[in-house]
Structure 1
Amino acid sequence: MTDAATSAGPASAGPARLRIPIQLRWGDLDALGHVNNTSMLKLLEEARLRAFWRGDEAGDALPTAVFDMSVLESGGERATLIARQEIEYLQPVPYSQRPLDVRLWIGAMGGSSADICFDVYSPVGDDEAVLYARATAVVVLVDTASGRPIRWSATEREAWAPYVGQPIEYRRRTAGR
């Protein structure tokens, strides 16, 4: 049984979000006692892989797990590559024995690419959580033999349709500030 769940977005509107708990490791911390920025990329990768790829136990897979890991391991025809990543830290992520609550959705879906959006929460109580970071990873679906982009199938698009919503709008600093 998977430990991920789905939930609706904020009460105001929005798509459903995949909620994927990601356990922190002591080695994810830096000398200042919070999650290192390179570790955050690895934690987001873990959430993304759980969302898109199913392993040996298909019964545990999320409804969005449209790719089969065993096919990839045997030289499958399709793979996902990261074209771009952006993270906005709202505050340092401290270590906790409770897993991070990574909420994932698609901010835009093109012919062969998708903007995967993440909100990273750390639970502080049963009904309370703190938003620590927001991130986007642009994923491109490619043919493994040629390395060229290929289109998302109708089945893949259908699996992700409930989780397509608005992309993250990042805060930007203007010059001279």
Structure 2
Amino acid sequence: MSRIVISVQLRWSDMDAYAHVNNVEMLRLLEEARIEAFWRHPAPPADGGWPTAVLDAGPGAQTTTLVASQEIEYVRPLGYRRSPVAITLWIGHLGGASIDVCYEVTDQDEGTGQPVEVYARARTTLVLVDATTGAPRRITPDERAAWLPYLDEPVRIRRRNDRDR
């Protein structure tokens, strides 16, 4: 199983009156990482980008995605700093027309690149939708092949997992 680690730069405006990243802004950070990891870029980056970036996100795209649900567990406050946060992503469920994207928001050890100090864990369920009909559409074989190596156990969110027992 592989995971994707995306660095996302914080903005000064992400911080709230309590001197930590606001809960709404935390969801924006997750969205930025998700788009980087799963949406095809019009001009691929020099490194080629992620092999998971197979959804067309440009104007006139034939597929849109809808957020069906999101759940986030805040582990500790994330204060503003100039260094980016590391957002680790993987697929917790690969369905017929939907995927669960799982996340951990962490610092990254500069020497090893490994995640340290978890700030939040989250899950987003995305439904793939045909842009013409507005109906959910099946995940294509190419999308499934690109995402399957990143399929792993769903993120463990304390309250949800405790409730499911």
Within the alignment, does 1:26 sit opposite 2:12 as a pair? yes
Task: Give matches, 1:43-62, under 5 Å.
Answer: 43-59=29-45, 60-62=48-50
Flag as ranges the 4+ runs of structure 1 deviating above 6 A.
none
Taking structure 1 as the reference length, the TM-score comes to 0.83
Taking structure 2 as the reference length, the TM-score comes to 0.89
User: In 1, distance between residues paired with 2:38 and 2:63?
Assistant: 12
One-letter code aligned to 1:161: L
User: In 1, distance between residues paired with 2:56 and 2:44?
Assistant: 9
**Aligned partner (choices 69, 72, 75) of residue 84 of structure 1:** 69
User: In 2, distance between residues paired with 1:19 and 1:172?
Assistant: 25
Within the alignment, does 1:102 sit opposite 2:90 as a pair? no
One-letter code aligned to 1:147: G
Please give the root-mean-square deviation of Cα atoms over the aligned residues, in Å: 1.8
User: Per the alignment, do residues 123 and 103 of structure 1 end up closer, same or farther by CA in structure 2, a change over 3 Å counting?
Assistant: same
One-letter code aligned to 1:140: V
User: Per the alignment, do residues 40 and 85 of structure 1 end up closer, same or farther by CA in structure 2, a change over 3 Å counting?
Assistant: same
On the 8 A contact 1:24/1:99 being kept in 2, the answer is: yes
| 1:152 alignment partner in structure 2 | 139
On the 8 A contact 1:86/1:135 being kept in 2, the answer is: yes
**Aligned partner (choices 147, 159, 162) of residue 172 of structure 1:** 159
The number of equivalent residue pairs is 158
User: In 2, distance between residues paired with 1:169 and 1:158?
Assistant: 25
Q: Which has the higher contact order (CA 8 A, sep 6+)?
A: 2
One-letter code aligned to 1:82: V
User: In 2, distance between residues paired with 1:19 and 1:51?
Assistant: 9
Within the alignment, does 1:135 sit opposite 2:122 as a pair? yes
On the 8 A contact 1:98/1:123 being kept in 2, the answer is: no
**Aligned partner (choices 53, 65, 74) of residue 53 of structure 2:** 65
On the 8 A contact 2:56/2:62 being kept in 1, the answer is: no
One-letter code aligned to 1:65: A
